[in-house]
């Protein structure tokens, strides 16, 4: 989707994403896109990163793969599915703009240069203090310097992408320094995926913009999803579930559910489906229900699993977040391309709004003035 947006910006003689938007916010994999775009990477470069190195981040599919035995020996049966070493190596070795010319790593306060263009907001969940940290490269004078200001941005991305059950938490460290410059104590801030509390960071980005002094009616938002899993969990299936069954589905059930709710809240907050200052791009990976009946009271029947396919490509797409095989990434790219060409940005049982490409172009043309523009990835 980002690549298509870049093309439409270029066709309409608009600046690239990092200059067009005043703020970019991201959670989990969106944190990598956020940092990458802000540091000057094109969307194609970031897509290539996943295509070429996705299997380094997610190297196997089976829960008890032989390559996982080191984690099992270290942590026991409760071990995360993957080590975060592959993700760390990809961010530190494959993205040269995360490094400075002297070999040190770009800190979050250095992203966007002195002008802080764009402002970035990356979310992760602090497991010690039990709150969501909004990592940003811009603080007001009243806010002052934050504890994370000198932390490399790649470490913040690893924290934001540390999805429970898939990766271990990532420990961010800071040193408390006294007024005379002596180190008093090492502080530890372990974080996990920001999607635990805000899988869709749009609402947080709007709140941050308002906190910085902007009125809601001045804000325009382009919100980009990564594809929704709508796999039904029936009563008969879940009736006897306990800790293990629900625990294994935390990323799927809890993150998807609150992301969908936050999307609905943002939609109404910004003025509803016809608001020209808000555009949400999202699609279902696979159709899990029969076609929507005209009678809005009628129940939609669940499709047999063998019949669940993407609406446009008519092929099934793996809905697990760790399937980084080339065949699955190709399916995702194909489905996204078809959604951009044939999908609608909003629809219910009786109404269909404009096509995706038409709405993106309209959004860019109508919000091309110097008003505040924010993007979520």
Measured in whole angstroms, the distance separating CA 42 from the mean position of its chain's CA atoms is: 17
> What is the average per-residue pLDDT within 268-276?
86
Which CATH number goes with the domain that contains 131? 3.40.1090.10
Spatial distance between the Cα atoms of 372 and 219, rounded to a whole number of angstroms: 5
* pLDDT recorded at residue 345: 79
Task: With cut-offs at 50, 70 and 90, classify the pLDDT of residue 370.
Answer: very low
Of the pLDDT bands very low, low, confident and very high (cuts 50, 70, 90), residue 228 is: confident
Residues 61 and 330 sit within 8 Å (Cβ to Cβ): no
Mean pLDDT of the residues in the chain = 87
Q: Which structural domain range is residue 193 located in?
A: 2-376
CA distance linking residue 31 with residue 377, whole number of Å:
8
pLDDT above 70: residue 105:
yes
- State yes or no: cis peptide before 262, omega within 30 of 0: no
Number of structural domains the chain divides into: 1
33-55 pLDDT, tens digit each: 999 999 999 999 998 998 999 99
Look at residue 185 and tell me whether its pLDDT is greater than 80.
no
Task: Give the pLDDT score at 223.
Answer: 93
End-to-end CA distance of the chain: 10
Q: Check whether 87 has a pLDDT greater than 90.
A: yes
pLDDT confidence of residue 124: 97
Task: Please determine, for residue 182, whether its predicted confidence score (pLDDT) is greater than 70.
Answer: no
């Amino acid at each position: 989707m980002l690549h298509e947006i870049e093309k439409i910006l270029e066709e309409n003689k608009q600046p690239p994403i990092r200059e067009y938007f005043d703020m970019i916010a991201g959670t989990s994999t969106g944190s990598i896109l956020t940092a990458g775009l802000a540091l000057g990477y094109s969307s194609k470069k970031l897509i290539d990163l996943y295509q070429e190195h996705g299997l380094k981040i997610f190297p196997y599919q089976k829960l008890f793969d032989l390559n996982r035995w080191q984690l099992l020996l270290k942590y026991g049966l409760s071990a995360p599915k993957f080590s975060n070493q592959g993700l760390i190596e990809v961010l530190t070795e494959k993205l040269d703009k995360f490094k400075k010319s002297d070999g040190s790593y770009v800190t979050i306060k250095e992203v966007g240069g002195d002008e802080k263009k764009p402002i970035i907001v990356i979310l992760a969940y602090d497991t010690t203090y039990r709150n969501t940290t909004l990592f940003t490269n811009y603080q007001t004078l009243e806010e002052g310097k934050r504890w994370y200001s000198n932390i490399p941005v790649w470490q913040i991305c690893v924290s934001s992408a540390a999805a429970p059950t898939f990766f271990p938490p990532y420990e961010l460290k800071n040193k408390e320094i006294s007024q005379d410059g002596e180190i008093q104590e090492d502080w530890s801030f372990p974080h996990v995926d920001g999607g635990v509390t805000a899988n869709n960071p749009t609402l947080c980005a709007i709140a941050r913009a308002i906190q910085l002094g902007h009125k809601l009616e001045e804000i325009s938002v382009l919100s980009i999803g990564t594809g929704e899993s709508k796999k039904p969990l029936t009563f008969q299936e879940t009736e006897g579930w306990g800790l293990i069954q629900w625990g294994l589905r935390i990323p799927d059930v809890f993150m998807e559910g609150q992301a969908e709710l936050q999307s609905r809240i943002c939609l109404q907050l910004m003025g509803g489906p016809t608001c020209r200052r808000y555009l949400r791009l999202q699609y279902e990976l696979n159709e899990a229900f029969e076609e929507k009946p005209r009678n809005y009271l009628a129940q939609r029947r669940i499709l047999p699993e063998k019949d669940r396919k993407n609406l446009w490509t008519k092929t099934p797409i793996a809905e697990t977040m760790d399937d980084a095989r080339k065949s699955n990434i190709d399916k995702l790219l194909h489905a996204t391309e078809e959604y951009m060409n044939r999908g609608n940005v909003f629809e219910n049982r009786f109404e269909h709004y404009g096509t995706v490409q038409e709405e993106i172009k309209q959004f860019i043309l109508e919000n091309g003035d110097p008003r505040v523009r924010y993007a979520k990835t």
